[in-house]
Amino acid sequence: MHARADASDTALTWPDDIFATLERFDVRQVPYVPDAGHSKLIQRVLASSTMRGIPLTTEEEGVALLAGAWTGGQRGVLLMQSSGVGNCVNMLSLIPVLRFPFLTLVTMRGEWGEFNPWQVPMGSTTQGVLELSGIKVLRASTAAEVPAVMEAAAAQAYNALTPTAVLLSQRLIGAKVFTK
Amino acid sequence: MSKANLLDRRQVVSALLANRKDVVAIGGLGASTNDITAAGDHARNFYLWGGMGGAAMIGLGLALAQPKLPVLVITGDGEMLMGMGSLATIGLQKPSNLSIVVLDNEAYGETGGQTSHTCAAADLVGVARACGIADACAISTMAEVETFAKAVHDLSAGPRFANVKIDSANVERILPSRDGTYIVNRIRGDLGFKPI
Protein backbone atom coordinates (compact mmCIF):
# COMPACT_ATOMS: atom_id res chain seq x y z
CA MET A 1 0.00 0.00 0.00
CA HIS A 2 2.85 2.40 0.74
CA ALA A 3 5.57 2.86 -1.84
CA ARG A 4 7.05 5.49 0.43
CA ALA A 5 10.08 4.35 2.36
CA ASP A 6 9.22 4.12 6.02
CA ALA A 7 11.06 7.10 7.44
CA SER A 8 11.60 5.28 10.72
CA ASP A 9 13.59 2.71 8.72
CA THR A 10 16.89 2.27 10.49
CA ALA A 11 18.63 2.03 7.10
CA LEU A 12 17.95 5.72 6.47
CA THR A 13 20.95 7.82 7.50
CA TRP A 14 19.97 11.37 6.57
CA PRO A 15 17.83 11.80 9.73
CA ASP A 16 20.97 10.89 11.70
CA ASP A 17 22.86 13.60 9.83
CA ILE A 18 20.20 16.13 10.83
CA PHE A 19 20.32 14.97 14.44
CA ALA A 20 24.12 15.26 14.52
CA THR A 21 23.97 18.85 13.25
CA LEU A 22 21.33 19.82 15.82
CA GLU A 23 23.43 18.26 18.55
CA ARG A 24 26.55 20.11 17.43
CA PHE A 25 24.69 23.44 17.48
CA ASP A 26 23.46 22.78 21.02
CA VAL A 27 19.77 22.70 20.11
CA ARG A 28 17.76 21.95 23.24
CA GLN A 29 14.03 22.35 22.51
CA VAL A 30 12.49 20.46 19.59
CA PRO A 31 8.77 21.25 19.15
CA TYR A 32 7.03 19.20 16.50
CA VAL A 33 3.81 18.16 14.86
CA PRO A 34 4.51 14.60 13.75
CA ASP A 35 5.10 13.68 10.14
CA ALA A 36 6.10 10.32 8.71
CA GLY A 37 9.12 11.98 7.09
CA HIS A 38 10.32 13.20 10.49
CA SER A 39 9.62 10.00 12.43
CA LYS A 40 13.20 8.74 12.73
CA LEU A 41 14.48 12.19 13.74
CA ILE A 42 11.69 12.48 16.33
CA GLN A 43 12.71 9.07 17.74
CA ARG A 44 16.32 10.29 18.04
CA VAL A 45 15.20 13.50 19.76
CA LEU A 46 12.95 11.68 22.24
CA ALA A 47 15.82 9.34 23.12
CA SER A 48 18.29 12.23 23.57
CA SER A 49 19.51 13.34 26.99
CA THR A 50 20.16 16.93 25.86
CA MET A 51 17.16 17.65 23.62
CA ARG A 52 13.54 17.83 24.65
CA GLY A 53 10.94 16.78 22.09
CA ILE A 54 7.73 18.76 22.57
CA PRO A 55 4.61 17.58 20.70
CA LEU A 56 2.35 20.46 19.67
CA THR A 57 -1.34 20.62 18.86
CA THR A 58 -0.64 23.09 16.03
CA GLU A 59 2.58 24.33 14.48
CA GLU A 60 2.22 28.01 15.44
CA GLU A 61 2.66 26.97 19.07
CA GLY A 62 6.22 26.01 18.16
CA VAL A 63 7.09 29.48 16.86
CA ALA A 64 6.02 31.07 20.15
CA LEU A 65 7.77 28.31 22.13
CA LEU A 66 11.09 29.03 20.39
CA ALA A 67 10.76 32.74 21.24
CA GLY A 68 10.39 31.84 24.91
CA ALA A 69 13.20 29.29 24.76
CA TRP A 70 15.63 31.88 23.36
CA THR A 71 14.57 34.46 25.94
CA GLY A 72 15.50 31.82 28.51
CA GLY A 73 18.82 31.06 26.82
CA GLN A 74 18.08 27.97 24.75
CA ARG A 75 18.07 27.24 21.03
CA GLY A 76 15.35 25.22 19.37
CA VAL A 77 14.17 23.89 16.03
CA LEU A 78 10.60 23.40 14.77
CA LEU A 79 9.76 20.18 12.90
CA MET A 80 6.68 20.14 10.72
CA GLN A 81 5.13 19.15 7.41
CA SER A 82 4.48 21.63 4.58
CA SER A 83 0.80 21.97 5.52
CA GLY A 84 1.88 23.22 8.95
CA VAL A 85 3.61 26.24 7.45
CA GLY A 86 0.18 27.66 6.67
CA ASN A 87 -0.85 27.28 10.30
CA CYS A 88 2.12 29.40 11.42
CA VAL A 89 1.70 32.55 9.36
CA ASN A 90 0.71 35.22 11.88
CA MET A 91 2.97 33.80 14.59
CA LEU A 92 5.95 34.11 12.24
CA SER A 93 5.69 37.87 12.81
CA LEU A 94 7.32 37.29 16.19
CA ILE A 95 10.60 36.38 14.48
CA PRO A 96 11.64 39.76 13.02
CA VAL A 97 10.09 41.69 15.91
CA LEU A 98 11.73 39.71 18.74
CA ARG A 99 14.79 38.73 16.67
CA PHE A 100 15.40 35.22 17.98
CA PRO A 101 17.15 32.42 16.07
CA PHE A 102 14.59 30.51 14.03
CA LEU A 103 15.19 27.23 12.22
CA THR A 104 12.46 24.97 10.92
CA LEU A 105 12.76 21.66 9.07
CA VAL A 106 9.79 21.10 6.76
CA THR A 107 8.99 17.75 5.15
CA MET A 108 7.33 18.41 1.81
CA ARG A 109 4.05 17.08 0.49
CA GLY A 110 2.19 18.10 -2.64
CA GLU A 111 5.13 17.74 -5.03
CA TRP A 112 7.24 15.06 -6.80
CA GLY A 113 4.67 12.39 -7.64
CA GLU A 114 2.10 13.41 -5.02
CA PHE A 115 -0.94 11.13 -4.95
CA ASN A 116 -3.25 13.22 -2.74
CA PRO A 117 -4.70 16.37 -4.39
CA TRP A 118 -5.54 17.85 -0.97
CA GLN A 119 -1.81 18.23 -0.26
CA VAL A 120 -1.04 20.12 -3.46
CA PRO A 121 -2.32 23.69 -2.74
CA MET A 122 -0.35 24.18 0.50
CA GLY A 123 2.65 22.22 -0.78
CA SER A 124 2.75 24.52 -3.80
CA THR A 125 2.73 27.70 -1.71
CA THR A 126 4.97 26.55 1.17
CA GLN A 127 8.16 28.16 -0.14
CA GLY A 128 6.37 31.38 -1.16
CA VAL A 129 4.63 31.71 2.21
CA LEU A 130 7.91 31.27 4.06
CA GLU A 131 9.73 33.79 1.85
CA LEU A 132 6.92 36.36 2.13
CA SER A 133 7.23 35.95 5.89
CA GLY A 134 10.91 36.86 5.81
CA ILE A 135 12.34 33.36 6.10
CA LYS A 136 15.22 32.16 3.90
CA VAL A 137 14.53 28.83 2.26
CA LEU A 138 17.06 26.07 1.60
CA ARG A 139 16.18 22.70 0.10
CA ALA A 140 17.57 19.17 0.27
CA SER A 141 16.45 16.83 -2.51
CA THR A 142 18.91 13.96 -2.01
CA ALA A 143 20.34 12.24 1.04
CA ALA A 144 23.86 13.20 -0.03
CA GLU A 145 23.17 16.93 0.25
CA VAL A 146 21.47 16.83 3.65
CA PRO A 147 24.63 17.33 5.79
CA ALA A 148 25.85 20.41 3.90
CA VAL A 149 22.38 21.99 3.71
CA MET A 150 21.79 21.39 7.44
CA GLU A 151 25.19 22.82 8.34
CA ALA A 152 24.54 25.98 6.31
CA ALA A 153 21.01 26.36 7.68
CA ALA A 154 22.00 25.94 11.32
CA ALA A 155 25.00 28.23 10.95
CA GLN A 156 23.04 31.11 9.43
CA ALA A 157 20.05 30.66 11.77
CA TYR A 158 22.01 30.45 15.03
CA ASN A 159 25.10 32.53 14.24
CA ALA A 160 23.61 35.25 12.03
CA LEU A 161 20.01 35.24 13.31
CA THR A 162 18.81 34.64 9.76
CA PRO A 163 15.40 32.95 9.98
CA THR A 164 15.76 29.78 7.93
CA ALA A 165 13.62 26.90 6.69
CA VAL A 166 14.99 23.69 5.24
CA LEU A 167 12.56 21.98 2.88
CA LEU A 168 13.13 18.22 2.88
CA SER A 169 11.76 17.39 -0.54
CA GLN A 170 9.30 14.63 -1.23
CA ARG A 171 11.93 13.24 -3.58
CA LEU A 172 14.15 12.73 -0.53
CA ILE A 173 11.53 11.28 1.81
CA GLY A 174 9.61 9.33 -0.84
CA ALA A 175 6.13 9.96 -2.24
CA LYS A 176 3.25 8.29 -0.44
CA VAL A 177 1.29 5.98 -2.76
CA PHE A 178 -2.06 4.41 -1.83
CA THR A 179 -2.98 3.03 -5.26
CA LYS A 180 -1.11 1.57 -8.19
CA MET B 1 -20.85 47.51 31.99
CA SER B 2 -19.44 46.70 35.40
CA LYS B 3 -21.06 44.01 37.50
CA ALA B 4 -20.88 43.63 41.24
CA ASN B 5 -18.41 41.23 42.90
CA LEU B 6 -15.96 41.19 40.00
CA LEU B 7 -12.32 41.99 40.67
CA ASP B 8 -10.43 45.01 39.38
CA ARG B 9 -7.83 43.89 36.83
CA ARG B 10 -5.18 46.36 37.96
CA GLN B 11 -5.55 45.30 41.60
CA VAL B 12 -5.28 41.65 40.59
CA VAL B 13 -2.08 42.15 38.56
CA SER B 14 -0.56 44.43 41.19
CA ALA B 15 -1.14 41.74 43.80
CA LEU B 16 0.32 39.03 41.54
CA LEU B 17 3.52 41.04 41.02
CA ALA B 18 3.82 42.90 44.34
CA ASN B 19 6.42 40.52 45.75
CA ARG B 20 7.68 39.15 42.45
CA LYS B 21 11.35 38.54 43.34
CA ASP B 22 12.83 36.64 40.37
CA VAL B 23 9.57 36.07 38.45
CA VAL B 24 9.61 36.46 34.67
CA ALA B 25 6.18 37.85 33.71
CA ILE B 26 4.67 37.53 30.24
CA GLY B 27 1.72 39.69 29.25
CA GLY B 28 -0.57 38.51 26.46
CA LEU B 29 -1.65 40.75 23.59
CA GLY B 30 -4.28 43.17 24.79
CA ALA B 31 -5.00 44.88 28.08
CA SER B 32 -3.11 42.36 30.21
CA THR B 33 0.25 43.55 28.89
CA ASN B 34 -0.78 47.08 29.92
CA ASP B 35 -1.81 45.83 33.36
CA ILE B 36 1.68 44.41 33.88
CA THR B 37 3.14 47.77 32.84
CA ALA B 38 0.83 49.58 35.27
CA ALA B 39 2.17 47.38 38.07
CA GLY B 40 5.66 48.70 37.25
CA ASP B 41 8.08 48.30 34.37
CA HIS B 42 10.63 45.57 35.07
CA ALA B 43 13.59 44.02 33.25
CA ARG B 44 11.86 40.64 33.47
CA ASN B 45 8.60 41.75 31.86
CA PHE B 46 7.81 40.27 28.43
CA TYR B 47 5.25 42.52 26.76
CA LEU B 48 3.38 41.13 23.77
CA TRP B 49 1.86 43.50 21.20
CA GLY B 50 1.08 40.74 18.69
CA GLY B 51 1.26 36.99 18.17
CA MET B 52 -2.23 36.49 19.57
CA GLY B 53 -2.54 33.05 21.14
CA GLY B 54 1.19 32.72 21.79
CA ALA B 55 1.59 33.96 25.38
CA ALA B 56 1.28 30.59 27.12
CA MET B 57 3.70 28.95 24.67
CA ILE B 58 6.29 31.69 25.20
CA GLY B 59 5.86 30.93 28.88
CA LEU B 60 6.42 27.21 28.26
CA GLY B 61 9.61 27.78 26.26
CA LEU B 62 10.96 30.06 28.98
CA ALA B 63 9.92 27.74 31.80
CA LEU B 64 11.64 24.74 30.20
CA ALA B 65 14.80 26.77 29.53
CA GLN B 66 14.90 28.18 33.09
CA PRO B 67 13.49 25.51 35.40
CA LYS B 68 14.72 27.32 38.54
CA LEU B 69 12.82 30.52 37.76
CA PRO B 70 9.13 31.12 38.33
CA VAL B 71 7.46 32.00 35.01
CA LEU B 72 4.07 33.73 35.15
CA VAL B 73 1.87 34.25 32.10
CA ILE B 74 -0.86 36.87 32.55
CA THR B 75 -3.25 37.03 29.65
CA GLY B 76 -6.87 37.62 28.68
CA ASP B 77 -9.72 35.27 27.85
CA GLY B 78 -9.66 36.06 24.10
CA GLU B 79 -5.90 35.49 23.85
CA MET B 80 -6.14 32.22 25.82
CA LEU B 81 -9.05 30.99 23.69
CA MET B 82 -6.95 31.50 20.54
CA GLY B 83 -4.12 29.44 22.05
CA MET B 84 -6.31 26.87 23.78
CA GLY B 85 -4.37 23.95 22.28
CA SER B 86 -1.30 25.16 24.13
CA LEU B 87 -2.99 24.11 27.39
CA ALA B 88 -2.82 20.52 26.07
CA THR B 89 0.85 20.99 25.15
CA ILE B 90 1.60 22.40 28.62
CA GLY B 91 -0.47 19.67 30.32
CA LEU B 92 1.74 17.11 28.60
CA GLN B 93 5.08 18.78 29.47
CA LYS B 94 4.03 19.69 33.03
CA PRO B 95 6.66 22.39 33.70
CA SER B 96 6.55 22.72 37.48
CA ASN B 97 7.68 26.39 37.41
CA LEU B 98 4.97 27.71 35.07
CA SER B 99 1.84 29.54 36.20
CA ILE B 100 -0.88 30.96 33.96
CA VAL B 101 -3.47 33.54 34.98
CA VAL B 102 -6.34 34.49 32.69
CA LEU B 103 -7.96 37.86 33.34
CA ASP B 104 -11.45 36.97 32.17
CA ASN B 105 -13.76 39.90 31.38
CA GLU B 106 -15.78 37.72 28.98
CA ALA B 107 -15.12 40.21 26.20
CA TYR B 108 -12.72 41.41 23.53
CA GLY B 109 -12.10 44.70 25.31
CA GLU B 110 -9.58 46.12 22.82
CA THR B 111 -11.88 45.82 19.83
CA GLY B 112 -15.16 47.22 21.10
CA GLY B 113 -16.16 44.86 23.90
CA GLN B 114 -17.67 42.08 21.82
CA THR B 115 -18.55 39.15 24.07
CA SER B 116 -16.17 36.18 24.11
CA HIS B 117 -16.91 32.48 24.43
CA THR B 118 -16.32 32.55 28.20
CA CYS B 119 -19.39 34.78 28.57
CA ALA B 120 -21.85 31.93 28.21
CA ALA B 121 -20.22 28.63 27.34
CA ALA B 122 -16.47 28.08 27.52
CA ASP B 123 -15.00 27.14 30.91
CA LEU B 124 -11.24 27.67 30.73
CA VAL B 125 -10.65 26.12 34.17
CA GLY B 126 -12.36 22.96 32.95
CA VAL B 127 -10.31 23.03 29.76
CA ALA B 128 -7.03 23.44 31.66
CA ARG B 129 -7.88 20.62 34.06
CA ALA B 130 -9.02 18.31 31.28
CA CYS B 131 -5.72 19.00 29.50
CA GLY B 132 -3.74 17.67 32.45
CA ILE B 133 -3.14 20.85 34.48
CA ALA B 134 -4.43 19.45 37.76
CA ASP B 135 -3.93 22.68 39.73
CA ALA B 136 -6.55 24.74 37.91
CA CYS B 137 -8.97 27.00 39.75
CA ALA B 138 -11.45 29.82 39.37
CA ILE B 139 -10.61 32.88 41.46
CA SER B 140 -13.18 35.39 42.67
CA THR B 141 -11.58 37.10 45.69
CA MET B 142 -8.41 39.11 46.30
CA ALA B 143 -7.49 36.70 49.10
CA GLU B 144 -7.36 33.90 46.53
CA VAL B 145 -5.26 36.10 44.22
CA GLU B 146 -2.77 36.63 47.04
CA THR B 147 -2.61 32.90 47.79
CA PHE B 148 -1.96 32.22 44.10
CA ALA B 149 0.76 34.91 44.00
CA LYS B 150 2.61 33.03 46.75
CA ALA B 151 2.17 29.68 45.01
CA VAL B 152 3.85 31.06 41.87
CA HIS B 153 7.16 30.85 43.78
CA ASP B 154 6.74 27.16 44.53
CA LEU B 155 8.78 25.66 41.70
CA SER B 156 7.89 22.07 42.52
CA ALA B 157 4.11 22.06 42.22
CA GLY B 158 3.20 23.56 38.83
CA PRO B 159 1.97 23.92 36.27
CA ARG B 160 -0.90 25.90 37.72
CA PHE B 161 -3.74 27.79 36.10
CA ALA B 162 -6.19 30.35 37.42
CA ASN B 163 -9.11 32.05 35.75
CA VAL B 164 -10.00 35.36 37.40
CA LYS B 165 -13.33 36.94 36.58
CA ILE B 166 -12.66 40.65 36.31
CA ASP B 167 -14.69 43.79 35.83
CA SER B 168 -14.98 44.71 32.15
CA ALA B 169 -14.70 48.44 32.81
CA ASN B 170 -12.10 50.12 30.62
CA VAL B 171 -9.10 51.44 32.50
CA GLU B 172 -6.44 53.99 31.60
CA ARG B 173 -4.02 52.67 28.94
CA ILE B 174 -0.50 52.47 30.32
CA LEU B 175 1.68 51.33 27.46
CA PRO B 176 5.01 49.50 27.62
CA SER B 177 7.80 49.56 25.03
CA ARG B 178 6.80 48.27 21.60
CA ASP B 179 10.39 47.28 20.71
CA GLY B 180 10.36 43.48 20.88
CA THR B 181 14.10 43.07 20.43
CA TYR B 182 14.73 45.45 23.34
CA ILE B 183 12.21 43.58 25.50
CA VAL B 184 13.77 40.15 24.81
CA ASN B 185 17.35 41.32 25.14
CA ARG B 186 16.58 43.13 28.39
CA ILE B 187 15.26 39.89 29.90
CA ARG B 188 18.22 37.92 28.51
CA GLY B 189 20.63 40.47 29.94
CA ASP B 190 18.97 40.28 33.34
CA LEU B 191 19.29 36.47 33.24
CA GLY B 192 23.01 36.83 32.51
CA PHE B 193 23.10 36.15 28.78
CA LYS B 194 25.38 38.23 26.59
CA PRO B 195 24.39 39.57 23.15
CA ILE B 196 25.25 37.24 20.28
**E-state strands within chain B:** 24-27, 45-47, 71-76, 98-104, 107-108, 114-115, 135-139, 160-165
Specify if A161 maps to a domain.
Answer: yes
% of chain B at pLDDT higher than 90: 94
CATH number, position A88: 3.40.50.970
Judge whether A1 lies within some domain: no
- B24 and B69 Cβ atoms separated by less than 8 Å: yes
CA A131 to the chain's CA centroid = 15
Task: Give A81's strand partners.
Answer: A107
CA distance A91 to chain B (A): 5
Give yes or no for residue B187 having a pLDDT over 80: yes
- Domain residues for the domain of B156 are 9-190
Tally of domains in chain A: 1
Structural domain including A102 reads 14-173
Instruction: Say if A37 falls within a structural domain.
Output: yes
Interchain proximity B61–A93, CB inside 8 Å:
no
* Angstrom distance (rounded) from CA A164 to CA B176: 30
Name which of A89, A92, A98, A102 to mutate to probe chain B: the one with the most chain B Cβ atoms within 10 A of its Cβ. Answer: A98
Tell me, what's the pLDDT at A11? 78
Measure the CA dihedral B148/B152/B158/B164, to 10°.
40
Q: Provide the β-strand partners of residue B103.
A: B76, B164
The pLDDT score that the predictor gives to residue A10 is 66
Asked whether residue A6 carries a pLDDT value surpassing 80, the answer given is no
CB contact under 8 A, A29 and B46: no
What is the domain-level CATH number for residue B86? 3.40.50.970
Kindly report the nearest CA distance between residue B82 and chain A, in angstroms. Answer: 11
Report, in angstroms and rounded to the nearest whole number, the Rg of chain B calculated over CA atoms: 15
pLDDT attached to residue A1: 33
Higher pLDDT, A66 or B196: A66
**Which residues of chain A lie closer than 8 angstroms to B86, CB-CB?**
57, 61, 64
* Structural domains counted in chain B: 1
Q: Does some domain include residue B171?
A: yes
* pLDDT at site A74: 98
B83 to chain A, any CB pair closer than 8 A? The answer is yes
CB B104 within 8 A of CB B118: yes
Judged against a pLDDT cut of 90, whether residue A5 lies above it is answered with no
Residue A2 falls within a domain, yes or no? no
Contacts of B83 in chain A (CB under 8 A): 61, 64
pLDDT, tens digit, for every residue of A9-42? 667 899 999 999 999 999 999 999 999 999 999 9
In a domain? residue A8:
no
Burial of A142 from C-beta contacts in 10 A (0-12 / 13-18 / 19+): exposed
Q: What is the pLDDT of residue B194?
A: 94
Is B196 a domain residue? no
pLDDT of residue B4: 61
Write out pLDDT tens, residues A79-106.
Answer: 999 999 999 999 999 999 999 999 999 9
